[in-house]
Amino acid sequence: MTDLDPTSTDPEHVEEKHLGARLNALRAGVLGANDGIVSIAALLVGVAAAKPEFGYIFTAGFAGIAAGALSMGVGEYVSVSTQRDAEKAQLERERRWHEDRPEWELDQLARIHMETGMSESTARQAAIEQTAHDPIAAHARAHLGIDPDELVNPWHAAIASLGAFTLGGIAPLLTALLVPLPFKVPALFLMVVIALGGTGHLSARLGYAGARRAVIRNITGGSIAMAVTYGIGTLVGVHV
């Protein structure tokens, strides 16, 4: 088999073919983990600054994880379902257009290929061969940027986001509960920096991007959130 064979089972070919689906799950997972880490840590820093007792911290952390995880899961499901519905509607529209005006669709596909640098004869021949094989898929990929075999999955996104938020939120909750009172806030800040650095590095590696920018972006955003909520918690605690 050649490298261009679409049926190739070469690991790199298969990995690239499913990169879009993986990036969708990766996006939901990283977003959920980062949100869980930052949201719960920031919440607990604010609570610890105002009311450092064990009961307050445990209740706030547990409730925050439950509410945040469910909110992230439902939000991802609704958002991705809307995207999937839009993609399916566009595919259905392409099917109708191909039935009603096949020649026009063929000409359009050829023009799209010509815009990529193909000569007119090569572009038309490619369009003819693609249309003979699978006209809807050819138009969806070239015209709409949609792969009919890789539509976004709302359940994958929802589960990835819900699970990642929960795992991300558990780390700051355990830190806040197990670390002695004088060191709770510094320990939470340190935990957030380490955790966000890890998720930034992991997301960059899985997405084949540079790790440095992702790590700095994660840590900077999380640190700002922590600092703001700590200040609010301190002010509230002083005036309670």
Domain that holds residue 116: 11-239
Distance CA 191, CA 142 (A): 45
Question: Quick check: helix, strand or coil at residue 117?
Answer: coil
Distance CA 210, CA 224 (A): 23
The answer to whether residues 161 and 73 touch, using CB atoms and an 8 Å cutoff, is yes
Cα 218 to Cα 21, 156, 203, 209: the distances in Å are 23, 23, 11, 14
The answer to whether residues 162 and 32 touch, using CB atoms and an 8 Å cutoff, is yes
Eight-class DSSP state of 179:
S
* Phi, psi values for residue 119, rounded to 5°: -70, 165
Cα 30 to Cα 82, 168, 197, 224, 225: the distances in Å are 21, 10, 12, 18, 17
Tens digit of pLDDT at every position of the chain (240 positions): 344 444 444 444 444 445 555 666 666 677 788 889 988 988 888 888 777 788 888 999 999 999 999 998 899 899 889 988 988 888 888 788 877 888 888 888 888 888 888 888 898 888 888 888 887 887 777 777 777 777 778 888 888 889 989 999 999 999 989 988 888 888 988 998 999 898 888 878 877 778 888 889 888 888 888 788 777 777 765 433
pTM above 0.75, yes or no: no
Number of domains in the chain: 1
pLDDT at 225: 80
Distance CA 58, CA 62 (A): 6
188: its two tokens: 């939470």
- The per-residue pLDDT for range 40-63, each reduced to its tens digit, is 988 888 888 777 788 888 999 999
Distance CA 229, CA 151 (A): 39
Domain membership of residue 6 (yes or no) is: no
Eight-class DSSP state of 104:
H
Domain membership of residue 4 (yes or no) is: no
Eight-class DSSP state of 61:
H
Domain membership of residue 18 (yes or no) is: yes
- Interior angle at CA 111, CA 108 and CA 116, nearest 5: 135
Domain membership of residue 1 (yes or no) is: no
Distance CA 40, CA 33 (A): 11
Domain membership of residue 3 (yes or no) is: no
Please, where are the H alpha helices in 101-153? 102-115, 120-133, 135-139
Domain membership of residue 73 (yes or no) is: yes
pLDDT at 12: 45
Domain membership of residue 2 (yes or no) is: no
Domain membership of residue 205 (yes or no) is: yes
